[in-house]
Structure 1
């Protein structure tokens, strides 16, 4: 057999002979590749052979992977031994729901009002909306976010003026008459509290004291000064005169 014939025969058998070299079969399989796999959050070590891309490894391992799932590295990435292959299993769900949009209260300081007082200038009104939610589940853990909102009834926030004026003006009009009434009502003792539900020189009860903002000066009438009690009495006088006091007879 000629040299040419021998070479042809060797080639036909898939064998290549080199001087001083080992004879290797051309069809010998590549060594298996070990992968550090994390699929759906579960870690394991696997082997594949005869494939050279991530896509091929996934197919050989019969891993369920769809378009929503996240594969790292990408499907076209070349395999290397001991590489990390991560497949996060992802699913999404869209839902629509009608919701109430609650109004907020916006407070604005006002020097026109005393501290402790407030005034509503705009009443609050809740609104309504239709929201679309997207729920994304990654390896069994879900999170939800609003992806669309259509307001069907506009929210109107409540607007309130809050008093910031701490300079309270005193009104000592009718001083002599208030002194006479106080002498009759309490013996002229402006800080008296006998426990009968009436307080101070002019014997206010709490409901009446509060009805004319006596709390501007003190929580209880007998805790306010004489001038402050008279100021509050003049506020009540502007509404009802001396009628609330039985001791008006001494005037």
Structure 2
């Protein structure tokens, strides 16, 4: 008899256990966009929602409906309502209800996609307790963006927002008038200056270095290029500044030698006693040379006058020319001007009576 009783109990327990397993379900419950998996033995949607601590308001959206039967692996979505204190362009504040989780979704629900939030970001979440949501309507604005002019009709809280909505957002280096934070007014004009600094790499010649050889037998104002060398190539990276796409300056910041340059060789005169002081009144002396000799400082026509300012041999010798060359036409421009300055100190501009006047020297 005892065996029969025990056997009967085991059958009942097995049946109850199998029944419990059969009615226990795992459901995905999504509340305001946040999904969670819950285990339940409830049979209706509303019972599952309330079992997990969520009360249902008549303004809420629940899918499937509350009295729909729940099945294993089912999905339940609850979007709870929340109040919005909404105003347009600072007027007509009213309270509305929305089940949207974000500002952007709320504007879409309210059929106000042609407006823009005045303070909140479009992606900001709408708290369950609600929020104030001032919005602005679309305005017509003329934009001069780095010289490109267009008219737009957009909703934006300020100049920066308008430019972003127009597909031309500001960077920190840009300048805009009115200020980026200025509110949008219908018919306003916005002037944008785009300031950019970017790196540009260009392949350019690499000048040869000059190797100097001092020559004590040659006058100090003279030099002879014995070997011009040959340039190489280099990749130079520049930091380039532009304003509205127009380059305003550049600075080399790095270079890589591609082909090395071959040094040039320059022979430099160091002969004692041939020092030449810095040229003063160079433009006047060039003008006199242009008048006297057609600007040719090495002229020798055989008429007894030599060089750019047409020295006769006696004048050249008396005023120290022989320390530079035996005749004026064999001296450099700077050497001839040095002797000409001595001549002017002794004789005045009258040594060149016609051409000094034409040159404006007197």
TM-score of Structure 1 vs Structure 2, range by shorter chain: 0.3 to 0.5
Higher relative contact order (CA 8 A, sep 6+): 1
